[in-house]
Amino acid sequence: MSTVKRSVFVSIVFFALFLCVSLPSAQSAEATGNAPVMVASQTATIPLTANAVTGAAETECPYKLTLKTAAVFLYREGNNKNYHLFTNDPLEVRSHDLNLGWATGTDDSIMLQNQCYGVELRYLGAWDWSASKHGLYEAAAAPIIYELYAKDKSWLNNGELNFHWWPCANDRYSLLMGVRFLRLSEGLNAGGFTSDPGGSEGGAEALSTVNQLWGGQLGVEGLLFGKRDQGFSLDGIVKLGMFHNGIHNKVSGANYVDSVLVSSGSESWSRAKTTVLGELGLNANYAFTKNIALTVGYEFLYLSAVAIVAQEYSTQSTIFQGARAGLNISF
């Protein structure tokens, strides 16, 4: 089964699970909340919206503002293939030497909603994926020193504008649609030098690629357990979208003899791919008050096709996953 088909199948399964868990609870809560209550006739009545002292009607603000901020710790999946990247006999650097591992970042959003509709702005970013290798070898038969180094860095920036719709009178789940921009950048610097009593020579390279994804997405967000403003609760979100990926690559290099530059050059090129993006989030929350809750959870982000420098600019699927911890504040 192709990568796209697998991602679509997995997302459909997640959508079905969300609806199976959230929809019955939402409908049950709505039915209970709307059940008629019989009240015995009284000689005198006071309107429920009247102020006990002045008699003036109290009106509740129809809008709700929610701020979410969290630190994220994301692990980036390693390089699929172990390409031979650089060599300075007998030293070498391969793709698996530059698997990027963990990075820290932030996940922040703001949402304004009324009873049925809401608009959300969100930023997700991680900036310090890094991996390096350095080798130094001194030949025993002759006073020759070989040196080789490589350092790979990557960073992710993501922005979203989503529109939510709550089909039920309560807010146990919402459907969403929106637009999204994601930028995945990479830079790889490498160099190798050989030194002997007569002098030294070598070269350095700088390689970079930028994946810029634009597109739309659909999703569902649901409260799976508990109440948002009371004690413990569990919620989750699933998103799936199709994106245009504009890929921009560049490579530059220079050669040196006795630390003097003798030649240099650079080249850049661009291409485009269609990329499927899927996201899953699960969060456990504890509400200290009606307006403030602590949240910890799991974040999963899947990209079906992005260019990777350490894969010789070829495209591969990439997974980011890890933990998040922060606060939800509502007004």
User: What's the pLDDT tens digit per position in 15-25?
Assistant: 555 555 555 55
Could you give the CA distance from residue 134 to residue 151 in angstroms, rounded to a whole number? 9
38 band by pLDDT with thresholds 50, 70 and 90: very low
CA dihedral over 301, 305, 309, 311, signed as positive or negative: positive
> What would the mean pLDDT of 131-143 be, rounded to a whole number?
86
Question: What is the model's pLDDT at position 71?
Answer: 97
Question: What is the model's pLDDT at position 140?
Answer: 73
Which domains does the chain carry?
3-29+64-197+207-251+269-330 (2.40.128.90)
> What would the mean pLDDT of 236-247 be, rounded to a whole number?
97
Contact of 118 with 111, CB cutoff 8 Å: yes
Could you give the CA distance from residue 6 to residue 12 in angstroms, rounded to a whole number? 10
